[in-house]
Amino acid sequence: MKMSDKCISTGIMKLLSKKWMLIILRNLYDNKKIRFNELSNMVNGVSSRTLSKRLKELERTKIVGKETFNEIPPRVEYSLTEAGRELIKGFKRMDDWVRGWKIKI
């Protein structure tokens, strides 16, 4: 049996390795709550279609939450869920590991 057959992290690694994912997560972390167009402007170069698709994938995995306000025009805000904030803490631990071991990439 290959390691990838046993590794439960494989699915999340595939999701996070998709183009724009980490940049989207970083901007959500930096801004707490953010509207779609603001996020689109921050993630320079991403198409609206791709951003929408990535946000839906992150919502489906419960990493990102979406709050819809009953206003005219409609307002939608995206933010990291508790699971998303824990994921970011994992990235920070990885950064500490890289620095601590002086890993050259």
Range of the domain at 52: 3-100
Domain assignment present for residue 32? The answer is: yes
Residue 69 inside a domain? The answer is: yes
Q: How many domains is the chain partitioned into structurally? A: 1
Q: What is the CATH number of the domain that holds 35?
A: 1.10.10.10
Judge contact between 39 and 24, C-beta under 8 A: yes
Q: How much is the pLDDT for 77?
A: 98
Q: Is residue 49 part of a domain?
A: yes
pTM of this prediction exceeds 0.75:
yes
| Residue 105 domain flag | no
| pLDDT above 60 (res 4) | no
Nearest one of 93, 53, 36 to 28, comparing CA atoms: 36
31-60: pLDDT as tens digits: 999 999 999 999 999 999 999 999 999 999
User: What percentage of the chain reaches a pLDDT higher than 90?
Assistant: 86
